[in-house]
Amino acid sequence: MLEPSYDPDDFISDTVEDPDNTKALAVADLDNAIQQAIKYRGVTVGPTQPLSLTDIGQLLDFLASLKHQAVSLGWIYGPGSDGIVQSLDAKLTAAKASAASGDDKTAINQLNAFINELQAQRGKHLNDNAFYLLQANAQFILSKLGSP
């Protein structure tokens, strides 16, 4: 992990008289505050390639894992969010079963229902991070199923 660094002594002038060492103490306090402010906080979620770009079941499993990651990051939140998570899971599970049986049309409908629920919960129980991450990946899967 990269961390920014600097030498706080660069901010203390040797030519300035400071018998009580107040400037040095102020710089040390500032240094501590800066170090706390610039420390790594949070998680970066970036594009990753799923195991397969053609296996719909694996793509749906990947989407489900992204949804669970969004929950753990607090991007799906609030009272009632457990029910929303279960509902989204049910739609993905149903889409996976439909795709596995060769019923792509039903899988498309179930993924569209998944996206519709994301849209309905956006700003209520899903923040924009969760919405865009899950919607974009669902749209990608729809494109693999031949949906316009």
pLDDT digits (tens, 9 = 90+) for 41-50: 555 666 566 5
Question: Does residue 125 have a pLDDT over 70?
Answer: yes
pLDDT digits (tens, 9 = 90+) for 54-74: 789 999 999 999 999 999 999
The strand ranges marked E within the chain are none
Of 117, 107, 11, 121, residue with least CA distance to 59: 107
Q: How far apart are CA 46 and CA 27, in angstroms?
A: 37
Per-chain mean pLDDT for the chain: 83
> Tell me, what's the pLDDT at 30?
73
pTM of the model: 0.67
Question: Does residue 1 have a pLDDT over 50?
Answer: no
Give CA 97 to chain center in angstroms. Answer: 26
Question: Does residue 32 have a pLDDT over 90?
Answer: no
| Beta-ladder partners of 125 | none
Q: How far apart are CA 53 and CA 31, in angstroms?
A: 48
> Tell me, what's the pLDDT at 147?
78
Rounded to whole angstroms, what are the CA distances from 4 to 24, 28, 43, 116? 21, 16, 18, 43
CA diameter of the chain: 82
For the ranges 2-6, 17-21, 33-37, 137-141, the one whose mean pLDDT is highest: 137-141
